[in-house]
């Protein structure tokens, strides 16, 4: 069974329900976000993570932001005030995590739909503006579900009978509103009756591979083998890996792709060992306003994520720590990008522009 990572419950006065990914695999607990601060906190602390999921959750976060009351005057009913709350909500949520493009695209969409509504119906009630924002968030959510399914359908052919597949971090259902990106490809191959092994990097420091991907693949009854990150090269050299497939948080106009720290090293190892390296990502992950990966902001995470392994200190107190959460894989190391629209073989600027048309 595929996990349902997030769900909006109720109408415009409703709330957001998330699987609390900080507690997996030990506990399966739902988290209710009833205000925008709780959404911000959930994103920041990785209760919800994965670029597409963060985008959808961000859009619902704005809906929660717009449930705010105007102190002392109750719920004001003017659109100008509504747009002002919306702008502040977007700005606040945009400051949660910088690397993935899906959050910024979702917030832009919500902002644009609200502005479009206000220009077309200047005398409308605030309630109607809030309805518009919820409808846009629902549309973003549904589109993510559809895109995930299509990515799987477009990429399943790359998972051959008897293959050994390597993945990194978690690009599964838990990282999206649907059935994932890289794991969607794997789920679709499995559905078609193919037998293969999936090697999962544990993904230090926060172990999204060990905690989340291994859990998701086991739930789906797929043959999963967990390895430490530093074992990947040796497995490739031994001929155990036929393809590497990961997700992405942001793909630039030239095809460079940011993903969880460690992905770049895998791409170099794959290239050196003649192993195809695939990225699976929805159209919402592309950022054509940026020319190359050098311009992608890379999130720096707190030192304690490296200093401790869970609750246990594993480094001397006071040691300097560097903890970038993402790295960038050069387009030239990518065999193909699998999207909801098809496959971009040996991606470059021209092929990406053609694939996406004039989407941005």
Q: Where are the alpha helices (DSSP H) in 33-179?
A: 36-44, 51-65, 79-94, 101-120, 126-155
The secondary structure element, H or E, covering residue 19 is: strand 15-19
| Minimum separation from the CB atom of position 47 to ligand MRU (A) | 11
Q: Which is nearer to ligand MRU, 137 or 248 (CB)?
A: 248
Q: Which two tokens stand for residue 294?
A: 């050098």
Q: Nearest residue by C-beta to ligand MRU? A: 247
| Minimum separation from the CB atom of position 170 to ligand MRU (A) | 6
Long-range Cβ contact pairs of 271-275 (< 8 A, separation 24 or more) = 271/333, 272/236, 273/233, 273/236, 273/237, 273/241, 275/236, 275/241, 275/242, 275/243, 275/244
| Minimum separation from the CB atom of position 320 to ligand MRU (A) | 22
**Residue ranges binding ligand MRU (CB under 6 A):** 49-52, 100, 169, 171, 175-176, 181, 208, 246-249, 259-260, 325
Task: List the beta bridge partners of residue 286.
Answer: 251
Active site residue 144: no
As a residue count, the chain comes to 360
Q: Which is nearer to ligand MRU, 38 or 179 (CB)?
A: 179
Q: Which is nearer to ligand MRU, 123 or 310 (CB)?
A: 310
The secondary structure element, H or E, covering residue 336 is: strand 336-339
Distance, C-alpha 197 to centroid of its chain: 24
Q: Which is nearer to ligand MRU, 52 or 82 (CB)?
A: 52
Q: Which is nearer to ligand MRU, 131 or 229 (CB)?
A: 229
Place of tokens 């477009």: 154
| Minimum separation from the CB atom of position 274 to ligand MRU (A) | 24
| Minimum separation from the CB atom of position 39 to ligand MRU (A) | 15
Task: Compute how many other C-beta atoms are within 10 angstroms of the C-beta atom of residue 327.
Answer: 19
| Minimum separation from the CB atom of position 245 to ligand MRU (A) | 10
Nearest to 330 by CA among 247, 259, 281: 259
Q: Which is nearer to ligand MRU, 127 or 300 (CB)?
A: 300
End-to-end CA distance of the chain: 35
| Minimum separation from the CB atom of position 284 to ligand MRU (A) | 10
What is the secondary structure of 166-230 as a DSSP string? EE-S--SGGGSSSS-SHHHHHHHHHHTT---EEEEE--TTTTHIIIIIHHHHHHTT-EEEEE-GG
Contacts of 91 (CB under 8 A, 6+ apart): none
Assign 8 to helix, strand or coil.
strand
Pair 264, 64: CB distance under 8 Å: no
Q: Which is nearer to ligand MRU, 106 or 171 (CB)?
A: 171
Catalytic residue among 249, 256, 327, 340: 249
C-alpha 153/C-alpha 159 separation (Å) is 11
Point out the residues that are catalytic. 249
């Amino acid at each position: 069974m595929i996990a349902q990572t997030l769900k909006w419950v109720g109408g415009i006065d409703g709330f957001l329900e998330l699987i609390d990914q900080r507690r997996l695999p030990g506990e399966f607990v739902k988290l209710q976000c009833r205000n925008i601060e709780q959404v911000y906190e959930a994103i920041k602390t990785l209760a919800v993570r994965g670029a597409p999921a963060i985008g959808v959750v961000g859009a619902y976060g704005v809906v929660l932001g717009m449930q705010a009351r105007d102190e002392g005057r109750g719920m004001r009913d003017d659109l100008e005030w509504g747009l002002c709350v919306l702008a502040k909500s977007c700005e606040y949520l945009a400051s949660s995590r910088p690397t993935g493009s899906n959050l910024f695209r979702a917030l832009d969409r919500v902002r644009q739909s609200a502005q479009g509504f206000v220009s077309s119906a200047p005398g409308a009630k605030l309630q109607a503006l809030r309805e518009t924002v919820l409808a846009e968030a629902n549309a973003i959510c549904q589109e993510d579900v559809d895109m995930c399914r299509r990515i799987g359908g477009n990429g399943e052919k790359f998972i051959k009978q008897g293959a050994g597949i390597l993945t990194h971090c978690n690009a599964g259902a838990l990282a999206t509103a649907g059935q994932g990106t890289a794991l969607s490809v794997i789920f679709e191959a499995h559905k078609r009756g193919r037998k293969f092994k999936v090697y999962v990097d544990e993904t230090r420091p926060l172990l999204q591979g060990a905690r989340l991907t291994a859990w998701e693949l086991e739930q789906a009854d797929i043959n999963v083998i967990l390895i430490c990150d530093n074992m990947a090269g040796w497995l490739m050299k031994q001929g155990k890996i036929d393809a590497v497939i990961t997700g992405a948080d942001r793909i630039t106009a030239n095809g460079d792709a940011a993903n969880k720290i460690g992905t770049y090293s895998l791409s170099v190892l794959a290239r050196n060992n003649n192993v195809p390296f695939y990225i699976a990502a929805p159209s919402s992950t592309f950022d054509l306003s940026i020319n190359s990966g050098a311009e992608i902001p890379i999130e720096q995470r707190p030192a304690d994520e490296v200093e401790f392994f869970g609750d246990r200190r594993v480094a001397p107190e006071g040691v300097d720590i560097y903890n970038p959460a993402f790295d960038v894989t050069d387009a030239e190391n990518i065999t193909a990008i699998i999207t909801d629209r098809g496959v971009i073989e040996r991606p470059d600027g021209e092929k990406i522009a053609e694939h996406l048309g004039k989407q941005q």
